Amino acid sequence: MTDFALRWLDLLEVGKFEWDKQLFPEFNAELRQDFAAEIDLFLRSILLEDRSVQELLTADYTFLNEKLARHYGITSVRGAQFRRVHLEDENRHGLLGKGAVLLHTSYGNRTSPVVRGAWVLDKLRGTPPAPPPPNVETDLSTPPGAKPKTMRAMLEEHRKNPTCNMCHGVIEPHGLPLERFTVTGQWRDVDWQANEPSIRRWQCQTARKSKVRQTYAAPC
């Protein structure tokens, strides 16, 4: 029933995602499997209940067990069985609040506004971005001995190159609002690696005012 939707969203192999165990010791294979179960149950509910496709982006409910609920900061769920749960926090609404999506659109050791933005453009807007030109530097890792920066700051530097900005200027506005979520889908206000806010206030305001915000409720 959900195989087509999972293929469309490129989420069939969430259960194979490998993460940095030192950076994310609270995450484990059981939670990874819970992510897969949540997205499957959520998609199944949209399809079987013949709901509007818009609810893929706006639905104010999901399916949680106690372990996954606590991972999301929700304390009202008890027990190992998955059940339908109303979401008070609108940042968790729809696909973009789901751990499976946030995990899949990250690297094992850091988030990626580029990967997340490209996923939104491709899967939700139907306008996949062009691949990077050959021989373009794509490694945004902090050089040894340098002060860590937020991913936002590193991408700002990257976009100073006009060649890079041609694509990144299109992709990143769709991915930067999702910087509020970690690799493993937990909410954050501070990027602990750089000890700075994970996203600037003006970026949240811009996202809220844009058609993109109206389309898929990017969290800020």
Using CA atoms, how far apart are residues 49 and 117, in angstroms rounded to an integer? 29
SS3 61: strand
* Mean pLDDT across 127-135: 83
pLDDT averaged over every residue in the chain: 84
pLDDT in tens, 49-79: 999 999 999 999 999 999 999 999 999 999 9
| pLDDT (average), residues 150-179 | 78
Q: Which pTM value belongs to this model?
A: 0.82
Type of residue numbered 188: R
Q: Which residues contact 168 (CB under 8 A, 6 or more apart)?
A: 114, 155, 158, 159
